[in-house]
Structures are given as structure tokens and as C-alpha cells.
Amino acid sequence: MHTPIQIEETYITLGQFLKHANVISSGGMAKPFLEQFDVYVDGELENRRGKKLYNGSVIDIPEVGSFVVESLTQEDA
């Protein structure tokens, strides 16, 4: 089961997402976190903190958990 993470924008970057989901405590921790941990976006290994995540994107971090982005914005990406 994926933990839903709601955003108010059309998309969020992976670095912003990690902070928003309380995986990291500050945005500056995103790069070191992505270097140390495997992070999968929609099943693909991802290490770019600027990767855009949209409504329905699934983020799996084996040591942390599984999340799904839920955008409250009705716009299409």
C-alpha cells in the first residue's frame, strides 16, 4: 500500500517531495540522500532531485516506504 502525499501544485520535484513527505528534514539533504539511498519513481531508479513528479507518480524507497503523489490541482501535466 502506498502512502498518499498530497500536493497543491500540478507537479513537485523529487527533492521537494522528499522534504514534503518528511523523508528528509531540509531541501539541502536531497542530493546526499539520493546518493546514499535507492529511490524508484514509477519503477525506475532515479537520482535527480529535479525530477518532476505528477499526480499518480509512485515513489518507492526500500528503506523508508512507498508513496503516491496526489495533486489537488485539476490541471493536466
pLDDT at 77 exceeding the cut of 50: no
Q: State residue 75's pLDDT score.
A: 58
Please tell me the total count of domains within the chain.
1
* 8 A C-beta contact, residue 51 and residue 14: yes
Taking 80 as the threshold, does the pLDDT of residue 76 lie above it?
no
DSSP string, 22-62: TSSSSGGGHHHHHHHS--EETTEE---TT-EEETT-EEEET
**Half-sphere exposure at residue 7, Cβ-oriented, CA atoms within 13 angstroms:** 24
| CATH number for 64 | 3.10.290.10
Q: Is residue 17 part of a domain?
A: yes
What's the N-to-C CA distance of the chain in angstroms? 24
pLDDT digits (tens, 9 = 90+) for 12-35: 999 999 999 999 999 999 999 999
Domain residues for 30?
Answer: 3-71
CA 59 from centre of chain? 6
| Structural domain includes residue 49 | yes
What is the structure's pLDDT at 73? 82
